[in-house]
Amino acid sequence: MKKIFLKRIIPNANDISRRNAIKGVALAGLAVAVSPAVALTQAVTENTTMQQSGDPLIDPCTRFPNDQPTQKQDWPGLQSKMIPKPDCGETSYRGSGRLAGRKALITGGDSGIGRAVAIAFAREGADIAINYLPEEEADAQEVADIIRHEGRKAVTIPGDIRIEDFCRNLVARTESELGGLDILVSNAGYGWFLPDILEHSSEQFDQTVKTNLYAAFWLSKAVIAIMKPGSSIVFTSSVTAFSPSEDFLDYSATKAALVAFTSALAKQVAKRGIRVNGVAPGPIWTPMQVYFGAPDSNVENLNKSTPLGRMGHPVEMAPLYVTLADETSSFITGSTWSADGGRL
């Protein structure tokens, strides 16, 4: 199994400082005479200009806070209720047309990493279909609004990827409504804090495996049947694939299996001209951190678990997915890229 530890992303990987993000929001608010889409576009353009004129360097250790207050939600959790809300690039990600004309399906696209990828893809010029659970509708509609403000098509498809028929229908509907499908981001995942194997039920294990592994298999079968050469698949694995957590036995196992699946599938479909890669995030501030049953001290422990002294935010993951989906990365396949704040 291959691991790539990415220390630096290419220059147009699209991050800006908080100062510019705040300016962008202010500019959008001042544009009362134009539509939200136009206002947002103007704000992003202004941010681009200011960044190019020379901003100070950003210290990765202090870019985001590491003092999130204790909070709990029922599964699957809503990003809109988190304090602070994860930064998914709503005001900070700038695009440069790297995915212009592409058609993408993103599972778990309502919140967290999936949301950040959807926003980034839209600002890179792609039309997007996002999948999520019905309970996450409020978050999903926020993402769809952002995509549409960028002038891209947004399709929202709620449903449970633990069901094989739904996975097939999800792909078919995406292709139909977007007029094609050339990027799959199989991102939705599930995990639960259980420090003792005797506490694991078959039902719990089954939910983890079906969400994290079976869905990847079913979705891959469906998309590969229709994808053209030049298409790409990106899976979301985890740092636990390489450094398994005793408290996430089944989750760690599925994420490790997904790394092997990524490598093997890439070899199998290379002759079709389809690339397959993965991203292995470390601890990221997403709804999973407030629903998965860990003790209150877990958030503090996760912040301390990285050399940077904090968890990551979804916006910091998005450039990896853009790069792996971009056709300029045409010689990259079968790899899983680590982005864990230096944890491994």
**Structural domain spans, the chain:** 3-17+58-339
Exposed/middle/buried for 228, CB within 10 Å: 0-12, 13-18, 19+? exposed
Of 93, 132, 190, 251, which is the active-site residue?
Answer: 251
Nearest to 95 by CA among 332, 318, 275: 318
Q: Averaged in consecutive runs of 10 residues, what is the pLDDT profile of the chain (344 residues)? A: 40 40 37 34 35 71 86 84 91 94 97 97 98 96 97 98 98 98 97 90 95 98 98 97 92 97 98 98 88 71 86 95 97 96 84
**CATH fold of 3-17+58-339:** Rossmann fold (3.40.50)
What does the DSSP assignment read for 145-193? HHHHHTT--EEEEE--TTSHHHHHHHHHHHHHHHT---EEEE-------
Peptide bond into 76 cis (omega under 30): yes
3-class SS of residue 25 = helix
Specify whether 190 is catalytic: no
Would you state the structure tokens that stand for residue 126, as one six-digit string?
Answer: 């792609």
Distance CA 154, CA 141 (A): 10
Residue 9 backbone phi and psi in degrees, to 5: -95, 155
pLDDT of the residue at 296: 65
Q: How many CA atoms lie within 13 A of 314 on its CB side?
A: 29
d(CA 319, CA 194): 32
Contact criterion met (CB below 8 Å) for 144 and 130 = yes
Q: Is the pTM of this model over 0.85?
A: no
The pLDDT score that the predictor gives to residue 54 is 59
